[in-house]
Amino acid sequence: MAKKPEIIFNLSTVKKNIVANYLGQAWSGVMAISFLPVYIEYLGIEAYGLIGVFVVMHTLLLLLDIGMTPTLNREMARFSAGEHSPQSIRNLLRSLEIICFSVATLIAISIWICSGYLANEWLNVEGLSIEVVVQALSLMAVVVALRFCEGIYRGALYGLERQVWYNVAYAILTTLRYAGAVVILISVSNSIEAFFVWQGIVSLISVVVFAFSVHKSLPQAALRASFSRESIAGIWKFATGMLGITALTAFLLHADKILLSSMLPLREFGYYSLAATAATVLFMIVVPVTQAIFPRMVKLSSRDDKNQLPDLYHMTTQLVTVLTAPAAMVLFFFADGVIYMWSGNIDLSQNSAPLLSILILGCFLNGLAHIPYQLQLAYGWTSLLVKTNALIVVGLVAGIYLLTSIYGAIGAAWTWLLMNAVYLIVSSHFMHRRLIQCEKWKWYFSDIILPSIGGLCVVLLVSEFYSRQSFDRLDWFALLSVTWVISTLAAILLTTSLKEKLISGALNYAHSKI
CA distance 123 to 130: 10
Please say if the pLDDT value at position 437 is more than 80: no
DSSP 8-state code for residue 35: T
Closest by alpha carbon to 198, among 41, 22, 43? 43
Res. 1: pLDDT tops 50: no
> CB neighbours of 62 closer than 8 A, spacing ≥ 6?
246, 247, 250
How far apart are alpha carbons 365 and 392 in whole angstroms?
A: 14
- Burial class from Cβ neighbours inside 10 Å (0-12, 13-18, 19+) for residue 216 reads exposed
The CA distance from 85 to 100, in Å, is 22
Q: Report CA dihedral (301, 305, 310, 311) to the nearest 10 degrees.
A: -120
Question: Which element (helix H / strand E) includes 196?
Answer: helix 192-217
Tell me how far apart the alpha carbons of residues 362 and 257 are, in angstroms, rounded to a whole number. 14
Q: How far from the centroid of its chain's Cα atoms is residue 301's Cα?
A: 24
Local confidence band at 217 (pLDDT 50, 70, 90 cut-offs): confident
What angle do helix axes 308-333 and 473-493 make, rounded to 10 degrees? 150
Secondary structure of 92-159 in HEC code, one letter for each residue: HHHHHHHHHHHHHHHHHHHHHHHHHHHHHHHCCCCCCCHHHHHHHHHHHHHHHHHHHHHHHHHHHHHH
Q: What is the mean pLDDT of residues 155-161?
A: 81
Share of the chain above pLDDT 90, in %: 14
User: Is residue 90 within 8 Å of residue 225, measured between CB atoms?
Assistant: yes
To the nearest 10°, the Cα dihedral for 334, 338, 344, 349? Answer: -60
pLDDT band at 16 (very low <50, low <70, confident <90, very high): confident
Sequence-distant (6+) residues with CB within 8 A of 28 are: 170, 171, 174, 284
Mean pLDDT value across residues 374-385: 81
| pLDDT for residue 12 | 59
Distance, CA of 287 to CA of 285 (rounded, Å): 6
3-state SS track over 367-420: HHCHHHHHHHHHCCCCHHHHHHHHHHHHHHHHHHHHHHHHHCHHHHHHHHHHHH
Instruction: Please report which confidence band the pLDDT of residue 10 belongs to, taking 50, 70 and 90 as the band edges.
Output: very low
More confident residue, 25 or 475: 475
Average pLDDT over the chain reads 81
Q: What would the pLDDT profile of 57-74 be if each residue is shown by its tens digit? A: 776 665 555 567 777 777
Q: Distance (Å, rounded) from C-alpha 360 to C-alpha 329?
A: 9
Q: Are 61 and 111 in contact (CB under 8 A)?
A: no
Instruction: Give tens-digit pLDDT for 247-301.
Output: 666 666 677 777 887 788 877 888 888 888 888 888 878 877 887 788 788 878 8
- 259, 252, 277, 247: which is closest to 400 by C-alpha? 259
Give the model's pLDDT for residue 504.
64
The dihedral formed by the CA atoms of 117, 122, 126 and 132, expressed in degrees to the nearest 10: -40
Categorize the per-residue pLDDT at 226 as very low, low, confident or very high, splitting at 50, 70 and 90. confident
> pLDDT tens, 458-467?
999 988 877 6
pLDDT at 361 over 90: yes
Q: Determine the average pLDDT of the residues in 324-343.
A: 90
